[in-house]
Chain A
């Protein structure tokens, strides 16, 4: 069942349109991650949903209710702000109970609900603290509890983890996810961290310049990115432009090949280095020969940069390799993401298994 539906939404600031013809549907109880680079319009979308940025065109539905023109306080979509936006003059309990108090819920009932939420977000005993005395992670939980208190139709979270340090972030990430499973709220979470999106979301929408580039499950997005942008954004940092030398083609076409550093197999050939040419070969697999430029320790592997002709390729290797070591790199066909500059003409050169990737 569709809980939130965004239809042909146009929104922006003044005459500057950030979202042009935006469409998205979120099912009941689903968590969708909005993933995209800085400035692509993620916050703008959330603000448009919450009524802080007016929609100049299009409709937003919650269930079968149209909320496009409603003022912010009537939408029942709550937001966890990036800066948390907790009220410093109120206590933890007052912050969490605010939405209920506004709705004139009885004091005893508010207290019960607040206590229930304090348990859920693991802040028991802190109800009378001023929020200014809490740590970042604790503030984050208060913000979450405050937004959940009124049982919103949709919960939106704007980079909820970006202000936390790495370790706390991992914890809170899991907690939000398990809370979402346990309570079953419908949510839209903004992030620009691909790992966060993969771990937390049921589906991921990758945004680029105010448009959805691809919408799909984490596996789909990771394994079969639909465009060069998505592939690159999802961590396929190696890019090779393969110039087609097949003269029978009507126009000169180039193929954009993307792959991850962890899918590169590194071998050190036993022959003398001089017998190796610095070159890239692409048949159905990709093979390159080159020399190590540098190597960096990444914990459970080394990230080595290899110079192959005009390209520099990043590859993961289990051990350190000294500079200038000659190496052979191989990437198997199933780990390559290939996109054509001219989609029509170059199609025949793509192995059939990649046709769906276009």
Chain B
């Protein structure tokens, strides 16, 4: 395991409010290359908000955002992409009317002169899908509207790794999938980490989380309850951390957990 490494992305003491409602409280988070970190938490705990803060879609109110050990200012999706941070959103954000290649390169099209370099993009898309062992699409020129849920998820993930990305965050990638498709996506998530990327996986499914992740970060009402190695906790303990913020001697202090609730 590579836990002795420095984190590639780190948040320290991050707060985020929407108007009067504080959604994230003093959040500490570290993502390591080659590891899958699972971010778990109840509905409304602030998981998606945290992802969007890292992605630059929301601005953090205060706290430190460090990339490769140095503080950075991420003020928009382009900044995050520039650092090598890619996000697979819960709602995927694909254009149904475009094909797989067009979606994968959206916003970052390859060009020769002013003309789109379709050949180059098509081949790169195929290479990327092949390198992820994606074998289920019959043509990369299929419209995304014709794909199954699992295939769409695959395209969204392939889009994220197409760029020399260093961090990939996936917001509930298996929530809408069947058993076989979930299997494929989890394999894919593991493979990303094995290829050296730092991966953050948001999921509700404790079995998935236990199986695929190296570290687990439960979020309880906008606070990070713990940051534990997946091997060191039981499923029951994770559930307890998610629902009460503490479990035995891990988690928030009793006072803090009750104050939050």
Q: Do A and B bind each other?
A: no
